[in-house]
Amino acid sequence: MTTVTPAPEIKDQAAILLGQVAGYTGHRTVGIGLRSGLVRALADAATGATADDLAARTGHDPFYVGVWCRSAFAGGVCERDGDTYRLAPHMATLLLDESSPAYAGGIFAVFEQHELFDRFEQALGTGERLWWNDCSPAWIDGVSKSGRPFYTRLVPGGLEQIPGLAQRLADGGVIVDTGCGAGLGLVRLAEHYPACELIGVDGDAHSIELARRTVEKAGLADRVRFVTEPLEEFTIDRPATLVVNNITMHECRDIDRVTQRVVDALEPGGLFVISDFPFPDDDEALATVPGRVMAGIQFFEAQIDDQLLPRRTYDALLQRHGFTDLGTASLTPVHALTWGRV
C-alpha cells in the first residue's frame, strides 16, 4: 500500500518563513551585542546584571539596552531571573574566547559584511566576480577571526590523528601553510612544532603583510618565511615534510594544479592535509543547520568563482595525483580533514 504524504498547509509554510525572520533577528542581536560590548559586559558580570547595570557599564541608553536584553533572552543567548540577565551556559566561550576550538563569535561579523550578501545581490544581474585583493580589510580581518577555530582544532588535535605525523614533526622539517591568510595558523604551527621551519604561501599581498605582522608580534620571524604566489604557481626551495591547506582548497581556481604543486613541494613520504568545510552532497544534509550555514558561505564563494566541495571530492583528488595512505577525520559538522602521503 502506498502512503501519500499530505501536502503542507499554509500555516506550516508560514512557520518556515517566520523561522527565517527569527534567525535573522537572533543573528543581528548577537552581532550588536558583540560590537557594542554588551556580550562582554554580561560575561564580566559574574552574578548577572540588569539592563540599567549594563547601560551604566557600557555607556549605552538604558531603554535600548533593555530591548537588546529581551531579544538576547528570546534567542537563547541569555538567561533571565526577574530583571537580571546573565549569559547562557558556554555562551562566553562560544562568542568571546578566540582561543577556543568552539569559538563561533567571528562568523557573526563575517555574515554582516558587504562582501557576503550585499555585493552578491548587487552583482546578481552581471555575475561580476571579485578576488581577495578586492575585499575590504574588515572582511579579511573577519574571515581571519572566524577561521581561527579551524586552526585551533587542526593544530595539534587534528594533526595528531594522522599516524606518525606528530613524531615526524618533533624531529624537525619544513611545514608549508598554503593559503596562510593573516598568519594565525603559522603562529600556531610554529608554537606546537618548535623544531620545524615554516613557510606561508598566499596569493594576496595584503594577507601576506598581515601574516608578517602576526608572526613578528609572536616573536617567530626567524622561523617563518613567506611566498606571495597563487597556490597554482607556488614553489619552495626546500622539500616539505607537511603541506597544510586550511579552508582554502575550495577557493583554488584549479585544485588539480594546486595539488601538483604540493606533490612537487613534498619530500618522499611527506603529507598533504586538507582541512575544509565538508559541503553536503545530499538534500537531507543540506537542510540541516550546518548545511544551511555552509549554504550561506556559498554566497561569497560564488563571487570568487568557486563553491564549497563535498569532502569525498578530496579523496578522488589525492588519488588522481598518486597519494597513498589516505585518511579522513571529522572534527565538527562543518570541519573535516582529508590527508594523503606521497
- Cα angle, residue 277 at apex, residues 30 and 153 outer, rounded to 5°: 75
Segments of the chain assigned to CATH 1.10.10.10? 10-95
What are 7-31's pLDDT values in tens digits? Answer: 899 999 999 999 999 999 999 999 9
What phi-psi label fits residue 206: left (phi over 0), alpha (psi between -120 and 50 degrees) or beta? Answer: alpha
Q: What is the mean pLDDT of residues 230-242?
A: 96
What are 186-202's pLDDT values in tens digits? Answer: 999 999 999 999 999 99
Segments of the chain assigned to CATH 3.40.50.150? 117-341
The yes-or-no verdict on residue 52 having pLDDT over 70 is: yes
The yes-or-no verdict on residue 84 having pLDDT over 70 is: yes
Higher pLDDT, 244 or 148: 244
The yes-or-no verdict on residue 2 having pLDDT over 80 is: no
Candidates 1.10.3720.10, 1.10.357.10, 3.40.50.150, 3.40.50.1580; correct CATH number of 117-341? 3.40.50.150
- Residue 125 corresponds to which cell in the numbers above? 544581474
Report yes or no: 183 and 212 within 8 Å, Cβ to Cβ. Answer: yes
- Cα angle, residue 277 at apex, residues 100 and 188 outer, rounded to 5°: 40
What's the pLDDT at 1? 62
The label of the residue with cell 528570546 reads 74
Strands 240-246, 173-178: pairing is: parallel
Dihedral pair phi/psi, residue 241, rounded to 5°: -80, -35
Domain spanning 10-95: CATH 3.40.50.10490: no
What's the pLDDT at 107? 95
Q: Give Cβ neighbours of residue 341 (< 8 Å, ≥ 6 apart).
A: 269, 270, 271, 272, 323, 324, 325
What are 280-316's pLDDT values in tens digits? Answer: 999 999 999 999 999 999 999 999 999 999 999 999 9
Read off the pLDDT band of 4 (50, 70, 90): confident
The yes-or-no verdict on residue 80 having pLDDT over 70 is: yes
Report yes or no: 173 and 196 within 8 Å, Cβ to Cβ. Answer: yes
Higher pLDDT, 122 or 4: 122
- Residue 315 corresponds to which cell in the numbers above? 579523496
What are 114-156's pLDDT values in tens digits? Answer: 999 999 999 999 999 998 889 998 998 888 888 899 999 999 9
Which DSSP helix (H) or strand (E) runs through 298?
helix 289-303
What's the pLDDT at 132? 84
Average pLDDT taken over every residue of the chain: 95
Closest CA to 279 of 230, 239, 202, 335: 335
Distance separating alpha carbons of residues 154 and 262, to the nearest angstrom: 19
Is 0.85 surpassed by the pTM of this model? yes
What's the pLDDT at 3? 73
Residues in the chain: 342
